[in-house]
Each structure stands twice: as structure tokens, then as C-alpha cells.
Amino acid sequence: METYDALLDSITPASGPTRTIKDPATGETVGQAPAHSVADLEAAISAAAAAQPAWAALSHEARTEMLLKAAEAIDRSAEELAILLSREQGKPLNGPNARFEVGACSAWLRAAATTVLEPETVADDGETFAQVHYRPIGVVGAIGPWNWPMMITIWQIAPALRMGNAVVVKPSEYTPLSVLALVHVLNQELPDGLLTAVCGDGEVGSRMVEHEAIGKIMFTGSTATGKAIIKSSADSIKRLTLELGGNDAGIVLPDADPKAIAEGLFWGAFINTGQTCAALKRLYVHEDIYDEVCEALTAVAEAMPMGVGLDEANVLGPLQNKAQFDIVARLVDAAKESGARVLIGGNPDADQVGYFYPTTLIADVDNKNPLVAEEQFGPALPIIRYSTVDEAIAMANDLEVGLGASVWSSDVDAARKVASRIEAGTVWINKHGAVDPRVPFGGIKQSGYGLEFGVEGLKGVAVPQVING
Ligand code: NDP
């Protein structure tokens, strides 16, 4: 186990160009990240390609054992990793935030390490014997975002390593230190060269996508970048898993109990201060219980402290960066200008230090308003009134994205029927965003394609090979 300072030292470059990373809550310097070049990327890919055959040649059991040791290494450094994550990303240590994210990293790594993917026998009739085997791809590229930088990196790399691949990671320029620290800790247990983080800019990312020696890109980020990746991966016919975020709808049916669901609705929307791909971003509430739901949700929101992440009292933090703060401010202003009713928040302090946007609930907002139609990716939730379930489903399905959704009701069977009519990769009942390492997760429509987690997730980082005969 390293102290926090030793961990930071171990990822601070001794030479070469660097970028200063600031705490989004305080503006203080967190550390220096290397500004890697395309030459650094080439070196990482060469090392990965050299390390991968020996890793792939190990038995599944041997790889599982090493990955379980790597999960233990995360646990040993959990508090130091959580402090760095909190300082760089902004999310509080407490609540479903930094400690929770680091805990999820070792949990997901253990799950990927121990999930079994056997060859599938697809024909066995005495004449034909055919099996699908899942082989390593080779080198996988993992490109990640800044909202859950450690956890999403693990989601990408754990199944890839489990299946016998090497991985080169390209973190977001906003949160490179968290990913470098995670990779450093994992590498205490993994063979040299197998896993490397390259902290470059968009040029490094796009070169990675074009690179012939990389067989697959795991990407989580914006739809616009996802489209660029599809185009630039075309020449090498690269495999892609694209998790492109969404604008998740929640539908509250008229028989739901407002007080009983209020806390679940709150965290469904505001986990990580709303900076979550599969968070509740538009809430449709039946007119019969609209006022009660608004009231109950406002009471929960009022009780949730926001502030600097290292203060244990806080459960909500700042936006991670100025660009995201500006998006949230623009969209809330658009709703206010349209005459929508502010239940709480909507008034950031112009003189504050840090990118804090207050927890905001906006009622009586039109479904076409930009706050509803665009992904706000921050602590602002529009609440839309509806009269019939058909109307609510039509509004939920009206957008081009389809990552998650949720239905809230006292009658689970009725909720499941509504769920089957919603265009989203996952529809939760009486919860939102509850991901599970055993359960496949992925988007439809412009939220991307490919599944992560569980057996399906392992298949996504392998090449199928049929042996027939
Ligand atoms: P981006 O999609 O721009 O960035 C995600 C990652 O892709 C970063 O590592 C980025 O690197 C990299 N990247 C950028 N351009 C390319 C390229 N041409 N080829 C390969 N990789 C590239 O997301 P942003 O951080 O700009 O966030 C913008 C919006 O995306 C947010 O407002 C939010 O709506 C959404 N988002 C969704 C997330 C999700 O979980 N699905 C997470 C984060 C954001 P670099 O940092 O160097 O630019």
C-alpha cells in the first residue's frame, strides 16, 4: 500500500511535457499529468502487442488468479485512490461517489475475472458438430470519459484482460490522474506492457482508433465523438463497443407512492451530481400525483448537501469542468425563460469558487424545451406532467437516444408492460441506473451499440471462431 503522496508521485512524470490538473471544487492544483504524444501511443501499442501472446497463452484459471490479485491491489489502495478521484473529478468521498466508485472497480474486476464463458455447441446431431469458441482479439483500445473515470475504465479493461487481450487506455483529458493511478495499482500485479495508459489529446485518441494493431475500441463518451470513431475506424474494420450516453426518461404511473419513491428518484437523477450516462434526465409524472411527487422530491433534494468532496458531510459535488457547467446553466436558463417553474435551485452563485451548480428541479416544463430534449448531464431535472400512459410513452420515445429508462409503480406487472414499450437498452422498475456486473448493459438508437458486463460483455471483447467438424 502506498500513501496518497507516494501514489501521486508514482504517476507524476519525471520529465517530458505535462498538463496541470485542477480540483473542480477549489481550483487547487491536484497534480501533473503527462502530455503523451503519438510516439508514446506507438510505444504503448508495441509493448501491448509484445505482452499479449504470453498472456493469451495462460489458462483462464491463471488469468483469473492474476486479475483477482489485481482486485486486491485496488482494495489495498482504495482510500488513496478515492481521495485522488475526489480531488480530480470533484465527486465527494462520501455517498454513492468516490469510495463507492473505487469499490465498484474491484467488484467489477472480480466479476469479470470469475465469469465463465464456455465454448457454445450450436449443432450436435450425429452428422454435424459445431462449436463457437471465443478467442482473444489482441490489443484493445479503451477510450474513457471524465464522469466515472475509474469505474468506466475497469468496465472496459477487466473483460478485455479476462479474455486474453492486452489493453491501451486513453483517459479523458479532464481526469487522467485517476486513470493513471488505477492502472499503476493494477500493474502491481500484471505482466509488464499488458496494460498502459496514454494521456494524450484528441489526436492521440483518433490515432488509436485508426491504428492497425488495435483490433477493438471500447468507447464511452459523447454521441458526436462516437460518430467520429465509427468513421475513423472504418479503414481497419475495427470492432467497436460504443456507450454514448443518453437522455433517460422515467415514467411515474398514477398508482405510485410519491413519498416512497422520492429518494430513489432523487438518486436515479442526481447520482454523481447528474453526471452519469444512465441517470434519470427527464421525469414524466401522471397529473393525479404530480404535485405530491414534486413536493416529495423537493424535500429530498433540500436535504442533500453539496460541496467540496473531501468534506465528509457532502454527497453532491461540483460539475467536473467549465464546459459542462455552461451546458447545465444554458439549459436551465432556457427552461426558466420559457416560464417553467423552479422548485429548487437554478441560481448558481456568480462569485463562487468551483463549478458548483445547485441541485435544480424544474416543474411545468414543455417536452420540447431544450432542458428536456438535450442531455443536461448535471444536477437539473425537468418534471413533465402527463395525462395518459400512451402520451408518456410517446414523449419518452420521442428522442434519438435510448440508453436507460425507468417505470415507477406499485404494480410491478403493470410497470413491466409499460417498460416493454419504451425504446431503451435497459428499463428499470422502481429504480434507475442500477447497474450490475452480471447483467448486460448497453444502448440502442444513438446511444450506441454493443453490450458490457456479464457473459455478453466477455463476448464483446473476443472474436468468435466456429469449429465445425
Ligand atoms: P467526448 O466524447 O468528447 O470525450 C470522451 C473521450 O473521447 C475522451 O477521452 C476524449 O479525449 C476522447 N476523444 C475525443 N475525440 C476523439 C476522437 N476523435 N477519437 C477518439 N477519441 C476521442 O466527451 P466530453 O468529455 O467532451 O463530454 C461531452 C459530452 O459527452 C458531455 O456533455 C456529455 O453529454 C457526454 N458524456 C457522456 C458520457 C457517458 O458516460 N456516456 C461521459 C462523458 C461525457 P480528450 O479528453 O482528449 O478529448
Q: Does 62 score more than 90 pLDDT? A: yes
**pTM of this prediction?**
0.96
Choosing from 277, 294, 423, 452, the catalytic residue is 277
Per the annotation, the verdict on 199 as an active-site residue is: no
Please state which CATH class domain 4-244+447-468 belongs to.
Answer: alpha beta
**156, 451 Cβ separation under 8 angstroms:** no
Q: Which residues of 91-113 are buried (b: 16+ CB within 10 A; e: fewer)?
A: bbbbbbbbbbbbebbbbbbbbbb
End-to-end CA distance of the chain: 51
pLDDT band for position 77 (50/70/90)? Answer: very high
Per the annotation, the verdict on 277 as an active-site residue is: yes
What ranges do the domains of the chain cover?
4-244+447-468, 248-429
Please state which CATH class domain 248-429 belongs to.
Answer: alpha beta
Grid cell 450490475 in the structure block, residue? 436
Nearest CA to ligand 1 atom 16: 202
Percentage above 90 pLDDT, the chain: 98
Instruction: Give the pLDDT score at 127.
Output: 96
Instruction: Give the pLDDT score at 245.
Output: 84
Q: 141-181 pLDDT, tens per residue?
A: 999 999 999 999 999 999 999 999 999 999 999 999 999 99
Other Cβ atoms within 10 Å of 136 Cβ, number: 22
Amino acid at position 187, single letter:
N
**In the predicted model, what is the mean pLDDT of the chain?**
97
Cell of 333: 436558463
Do β-strands 129-136 and 120-124 pair in parallel, antiparallel, or remain unpaired? antiparallel
Amino acid at position 156, single letter:
Q
Instruction: Give the pLDDT score at 201.
Output: 85
pLDDT band for position 287 (50/70/90)? Answer: very high
Which protein residues touch ligand 1 with a CB less than 6 Å away? 143-147, 170, 172-173, 201-202, 205-206, 209, 220-222, 225, 228-229, 243-245, 277, 324, 327, 375, 377
Instruction: Give the pLDDT score at 200.
Output: 87
Cell of 300: 429530498
Determine the average pLDDT of the residues in 35-59. Answer: 97
Amino acid at position 245, single letter:
G
Quote the ligand 1 centre to 323 CA distance (angstroms).
12
Q: Which atom of ligand 1 is nearest to the CA of 224?
A: 2
Question: What values do phi and psi take at 147, rounded to 5?
Answer: -85, -45
Q: Does 1 score more than 90 pLDDT? A: no
Which whole-number Å values give the CA distances from 217 to 198, 207, 209, 223, 290, in the listed order? 14, 12, 7, 15, 43
Other Cβ atoms within 10 Å of 75 Cβ, number: 18
Instruction: Give the pLDDT score at 445.
Output: 97
Q: Does 64 score more than 80 pLDDT? A: yes
Q: 100-143 pLDDT, tens per residue?
A: 999 999 999 999 999 999 999 999 999 999 999 999 999 999 99
Amino acid at position 233, single letter:
S
pLDDT band for position 367 (50/70/90)? Answer: very high
Quote the ligand 1 centre to 256 CA distance (angstroms).
37
Nearest CA to ligand 1 atom 27: 222
Best mutation site among 153, 198, 219, 222 for ligand 1 pocket (most ligand atoms within 8 Å of CB): 222
**C-alpha dihedral sign at 211, 217, 222, 227:** positive
pLDDT band for position 198 (50/70/90)? Answer: very high
Instruction: Give the pLDDT score at 202.
Output: 83
